[in-house]
Structure 1
Amino acid sequence: MSLTRQTTMKKTFSTASAVPAGANRNFSSYSTVRSSSGGLGSGRRVRTEEREQIKTLNNKFASFIDKVRFLEQQNKVLETKWSLLQEQGVKTIKNNLEPLFEAYINSLRRRLDSLVNDKSRLDAELRQVQDFVEDFKNKYEDEINKRTAAENDFVVLKKDVDAAYMNKVELEGKVDSLTDEINFLRALYEAELLQMQGQISDTQVVLTMDNNRVLDLDGIIAEVKAQYEEIAN
């Protein structure tokens, strides 16, 4: 406020000091009157008018100077008042804001203390969780190793089972083949036995007719049986 008013006053004073507004108008009138007089008979009237105009201009200029001085004094007074008001305002604002700033700073300090405590608590919880995770990680890796070992054992056992199964299938095939062979040989043996028994019966009939000869039937049967077993083996 004071700076604007002071700038306005200084501009007004410099303009007024250079060429007063009233003086411009009066000097212009004076030049016009003088140029229009022209004749020697009107010289006295012109000089009288010039003196009156100069007197009027001097009065206006003196009045203008007084007003400028008065305004300068008022401007200084206003500047002084404004400086005092600014000093008082700064002190008042400082006195009014200082408790607020103190309260705000204390609030921030309490909040900082709370955050520090929370950070300590969270750090402890974080370490606990990290230990917990590390323990589970070790257990998980141990289980993975056990599972891998079990899978390897399963693969080995599966190979053994597959080999045993294939061996079983092969043996079952051999058993079936041997069973078929045994059944075939049994049937052949029974057929040959029946044939031999028929031959023996015929031989007995012939022997009964021949009283001069003695035959050992049991020996013949044993011999035939031995021959059959030899063929079977």
Structure 2
Amino acid sequence: MQGTVEDYKSKYEDEINRRTAAENEFVTLKKDVDAAYMNKVELQAKADSLTDEINFLRALYEAELSQMQTHISDTSVVLSMDNNRSLDLDSIIAEVKAQYEEIAKRSRAEAESWYQTKYEELQITAGRHGDDLRNTKQEISEINRMIQRLRSEIDHVKKQIANLQAAIAEAEQRGEMALKDARGK
């Protein structure tokens, strides 16, 4: 009879140890889920910030492009003179006009080149931010999957804990009954 009591006592201690281990694992899993949720919140805030920055850069680019196009269209050289002297002013005027037109053409080309470069830089930046946004959304999706998996594991651990508690209660009851039987004999 003493052997049976010792056996039940050993089983009871094993069940207590398993329950403690399951509770510790549950606490660890809860910490992991909390950390994953905080990470998700941070990533979402980062994605929103990047979206706002992309929208701001697009608006800035549109404003600068519009301003530069207005500036370029206002640049033109018109030179005409009404002079009755019979100097060779026509060739001088033609030469000066050609020089000014060349300067205006060069300025226009430089401005267009500069804005083309700026446009390409903004496109690259917008593309990079788009990639960052896609990567962030993918990370959020992965974190959501991990949260679902952890919730499933937590539910499983809760069921194990409930089963262990039921087994412990049953073992305690059997132990008490065995103890009563042993005392009765």
Report the TM range for the smaller structure's normalisation: 0.3 to 0.5
User: Which entry has the higher C-alpha Rg, 1 or 2?
Assistant: 1
Q: Give me the TM-score of the superposition, normalised by structure 2.
A: 0.44
- Greater relative contact order structure (CA < 8 Å, 6+ sep): 2
TM-score by length of 1: 0.36
